[in-house]
Amino acid sequence: MRISVVGCGYLGAVHAAAMAHLGHDVVGIDLDDAKVATLRSGTAPFFEPGLPDLLDEGRASGRLRFSTSFDEVRGSEVVFLCVGTPQRADSYAADLTQVDSAFRAVAMVADDAVVVGKSTVPVGTAARLALELEASTPSAALAWNPEFLREGFAVADTLRPDRLVYGVEERHGDRAVVALDSVYESALRDGAPRLVTDLATAELVKVAANSFLATKISFINAMAELCEVAGGDVTLLADAIGLDDRIGRRFLNAGLGFGGGCLPKDIRAFMARAEELHAEPAVSFLREVDSINLRRRERMVDLTVGVLDGRPLAGARIAVLGAAFKPDSDDVRDSPALDVAEKLHARSARVVVTDPQALHNARRKAPHLSYARTVAEAVDGADAVLLLTEWPEYRGLDPVALGEHVAHRRIVDGRNVLDPTVWRSSGWTYRALGRP
């Protein structure tokens, strides 16, 4: 099929490259000249495992190209909208500026294409856009196909999705389903479940899923708060309740909490939209989910102060291992790790941050912090070490070898991924969220 992908950020660039890998003829559209030039050269503008290989393959096959012109959309059978929906600066609501702008540009050249939204939008957006499309380009159809990508696993999640959701309108439903089935023929053949819904349900699926995951994470972090005052161990607590098949162990890892460009802004936008629909009580619990998540960052600062054994935080050298919001990513949007580093800096600590992939983005977002390319450089002379992003190389650190570089063997495990017994037996003071 001939496919256009509008918006070449995390979602769009991966989607375009993956569609070309599946054999489709794909053009990615983005108004950022520098981003398009980077993609044309076969270079990914962000770190995502597996994406460079797909870009190289797409260029070599001739099935993948990138452009800044919406005229390239003409003749496409399917047009995917993959632009961002950040949180508005003045409220919790989603900023739909990019969605509306991209949609109107596409509508002018869509002809008889199926226009498919993948962006995470407030419920009701697709119905509004469907009316606009009917008025401007009645031969085109609208559908909504929410994405469920995990940064660090986006390529696999696109090529082998755990489910496909098609939100369609009644008038063009059959046509949209046939088109999307052709797009995802490979995944469907491999057994990916497919659900066909109305537009509103498709919009709600993504925010509901993210809200559930955020709630599960914040629940175990609330239990960590109780464990700290009661003397319990939240990791053992999570193991015990996770053995219940109704609950499960996944996403019950207590620690610094969630961040990134999706979960925080999506649950806030969900609350804002519910308020607009006069249904705020239905999701009011999400305010506490958000509050618990943000409290973990303050608690990490408290643990750092406590581990210094009475030494003032001001002037103390603190090594921060991790800047990305999660491993296998260079994304620092709403990163808990970088936020903690900035909070420590604001209290006059001498903070040195390291990360395998996110240093460039971290420097742009927080230029006032100090950065190191290696762990050894970051921890040199440190009064305390904070593990805040659970990269595999940090989880596998040798406490004896690391101890040769620091001024004091003190570590705060913000992700509960280190073995306390091993570190304490190597002479380290070990602290973690929710553990004695």
SS3 category, 52 = helix
Helix 125-136 × helix 97-107 angle, to 10°: 20
| Token digits of residue 378 | 């970051």
Residue 46, SS3 per DSSP: coil
Catalytic residue check, 82? no
- Distances 302 to 297, 313, 347 between C-alpha atoms, Å: 9, 10, 12
Where b means 16+ CB within 10 Å and e means fewer, 148-165 reads: ebebbebbebbbebeebb
* Residue 372 near residue 352 (C-beta atoms within 8 A): yes
Residues 6+ apart with CB under 8 A from 418: 387, 395, 397, 411, 430, 432
CB atoms within 10 A of CB 180: 22
Q: Would you tell me how many other CB atoms lie within 10 Å of the CB of residue 374? A: 10
Could you count the other beta carbons within 10 Å of the beta carbon of residue 97?
13
Helix (H) or strand (E) holding 49: none
Q: HEC profile for 60-127?
A: HHCCEEEECCHHHHCCCCEEEECCCCCECCCCCCECCHHHHHHHHHHHCCCCCCEEEECCCCCCCHHH
Backbone angles phi, psi at 93, to 5 degrees: -65, 155
CB 146 within 8 A of CB 203: yes
Helix (H, G, I), strand (E, B) or coil at 228: helix
Q: How far is CA 130 from the centre of its chain?
A: 28
Total residues found in the chain within this entry: 436
d(CA 195, CA 301): 44
Number of Cβ within 10 Å of residue 38's Cβ equals 18
Tokens representing residue 319 in the block: 């090594």
- HEC profile for 313-362? CCCCEEEEECCCCCCCCCCCCCCHHHHHHHHHHHCCCEEEEECCCCHHHH
- What residues are labeled active site? 262
